[in-house]
Structure 1
Amino acid sequence: MAMQRPTSKLPPGANRILFVKNLNYQITGEDLYDLFGRYGSIRQIRIGAKNALDHLNGFHLQERYIVVLYHMPAKQDAAAAKAELARREEELARLKQTHDIKDDD
């Protein structure tokens, strides 16, 4: 009698997409392929936060231009967070100037 390997059943309504939270902000797709690839083939890895940050910083939303930053835990170097904020604000100011956008203050 042939023994079959037990197959892991997906919960009802689930697909094969895994959502992983609480990753280190510096993690790369390659790191995730190395880890998760040990347990099966991986079709695609998407790290969504960076994509949102790249596309939405400076986005015009309800009469304001939003600034999108990575959240820095309190133990992180505050100077690095301030430098990143200053850099993004300068970038936003440059974009406003390029597109001749005035603040309505």
Structure 2
Amino acid sequence: MSVLAESRQQSRILFVKNLSYQVTGADLYELFGRYGSIRQVRTGDGPKTKGTAYVVFEEIGDAKKALDHLNGFHLQERYIVVLYHMPARGAATAKADLAAREAQLAELKRKHDIADAEK
């Protein structure tokens, strides 16, 4: 992987999953704080987010050290998974992707002489 591609994938925000439901924010501050200054820890508390957390470091380098050392770490009877947080793509990008897919579909329908179903 090129240095430029790697730097684009790195973030100072880590996403942590496969956490025990008993893990607290304080537990994560203690564990991840060994690798640098932490700005924030947010643990999931909803049905779809329980067992996950975001850990925000002050510096990207500290986040990288934590990821390198803690991915697969055994914490409270679970092996945690640590990943870089990847922000969701913006709505404008999603709309552009949808428009492109709709154009491709229309072209395929035209090419294969397929009419839209009557409503």
TM-score bracket, normalised by the shorter chain, equals 0.3 to 0.5
TM-score (norm 2): 0.33
RCO (CA 8 Å, sep 6+): is it higher in 1 or 2? 2
Q: Determine which structure has the larger strand proportion and give its number.
A: 2
TM-score (norm 1): 0.37
